Amino acid sequence: MRPSSSPSEALLRGLSGTPEVDVELDDQRLLQAMLDVEAALAYAGADVGLLPAAVADEIARHCRADRYDPAALGAAADAAGNPVVPLVRQLTAAVAEPARPWVHHGATSQDVLDSALALVVTRAAVPLLGLLDTATDAAAGLARAHRDTVMVARTLGQQAAPTTFGLKAAGWLYGLDAARTRLAGACAALPAQLGGAVGTLAGYGPAGPAMVRRFADRLGLAASPLPWHTHRQPLLDLAAALGGLLAATGKIALDVGLLAQTEVAEVTEGGEGRGGSSAMPHKRNPVDSVLVSAAARRGPGLLGTLFAAATQEHERATGGWHAEWEPLLELVHLTGGAAARTARMLTGLRVHPQRMRANLDATGGLLLAEAVATRLAPALGRAAAHDLVARAAAGTSFRAALLAEPEVRAHLSVADVDAALDPAGWLGSAGELVDRALDRHQRSTG
């Protein structure tokens, strides 16, 4: 286990995480979670009649992280390959003599660390989901306020057709809401781990199944029907949910960064004093967009490690399990930071409808080529209408070229052409789609 305040963490780690989530991930909290697991083991044993309640109380009394040194445990972990072994040794030495045989009774190191990591993640998920709620509410506010704000839709990096900023924000909202649902579900389903040395619960005799249930209840985690020592689906479900959230926030960050480019200038990140450059006094960089994008780019590597590690041999892994610990915590760290910065980015986002309109008009109506071709298609056929409009689009003035085409004038009046070139008339169901996203969000939070 690494020290919790290395120089690189002090200088860099704050740029990818957020304090309210990271505090749940530090060495002290992980150590406390491991001790909470040991206390729950003792109390569950008392619940099913394996040991006296007074013994469980004695063990729990010493399950306080401030009585142990994480750095020393981390150094001692090298001899056993995990920090549970030295912790159990120290906990056993700390309790009164009659309680010592019952410390860590029937369990194995993986039971403790898997369950402790599940506790850490579920505890970190509380502030993380709160930050995500702020982000979704901000996205909903943007979608509502700009339901009918017309802007350019871009495909393959090029201007394509009209859309609304409300629909763009509704897409962000939809992605965040879906990611939140998956993450909350994955956290709620995280099971406690208890199987003993090889997953048979042999140390508990006939009380094994009851012990699993009471142990999970004591920890507030789900009870797994079988030990999942080398069946890592619960962890993969969690990792996929965290990765999905990074993807959802990364998509928003990418959009905001592109819309904030000087040549586009349709949005600006808020925040007084943010976005400065060390070299260029005029710069106002989209810092939250940049940092969320960075987190999203790091996520797939961590997911790859977790999924690669999930193929584990027989009843206990030789390295696969060990490879999971730090990538999992790092993934939660990145997701917390991305949620916090997305919340701040969307809450303070400044939208510039006039600039959106200017960009929409910059091509002289070319964005409405599809609308014109659609009006001509019933008379000319789809292919012929497409080719006719494409020829007109090659001219210097799209409107003038259309009106100069005899086949266009044969079927469309000047008023018809002008109506086809009105962006507000080619928004399809954009407004209804925004309303659907907002209604879905309202139902999910109500």
| Residues 441 and 173: beta-carbon distance below 8 Å | yes
Q: Is residue 133 part of a domain?
A: yes
CA 347 to chain centre: 18
Determine the pLDDT at residue 11. 84
C-alpha dihedral, 162 to 163 to 168 to 171, nearest 10°: -120
Q: Is residue 1 part of a domain?
A: no
Determine the pLDDT at residue 4. 45
CA-nearest of 209, 280, 220, 291 to 253 is 291
Same domain, 378 and 269: no
- Distance, in Å, from the CA atom of 52 to the CA atom of 326, rounded to the nearest integer, reads 37
Q: Is residue 2 part of a domain?
A: no
Could you tell me the CATH number of the domain that includes residue 259? Answer: 1.20.200.10
| Residues 24 and 123: beta-carbon distance below 8 Å | yes
Find the domain containing 213 and state its range: 7-354
Same domain, 251 and 159: yes
Same domain, 169 and 232: yes
Return the percentage of the chain with pLDDT > 70, whole number: 95
Domain end marker among 298, 319, 354? 354
Same domain, 223 and 322: yes
**What is the count of structural domains for the chain?**
2
Same domain, 222 and 248: yes
**pLDDT at position 301 over 90:** yes
Domain end marker among 354, 388, 420? 354
Same domain, 276 and 240: yes
Residues annotated as catalytic are 277, 316
Domain end marker among 354, 381, 415? 354
Same domain, 115 and 256: yes
Q: What is the pLDDT of residues 308-362, one digit of tens each?
A: 999 999 999 999 999 999 999 999 999 999 999 999 999 999 999 999 999 999 9
Same domain, 83 and 163: yes
Q: What is the mean pLDDT of residues 228-257?
A: 98
Same domain, 239 and 337: yes
Same domain, 192 and 283: yes
Same domain, 52 and 82: yes
**Which region among 32-36, 204-208, 250-254, 412-416 has the lowest average model confidence (pLDDT)?**
412-416
Angle between helices 27-47 and 109-145 (to 10 degrees): 120
CA-nearest of 342, 337, 312, 338 to 324 is 312
Q: Is residue 164 part of a domain?
A: yes
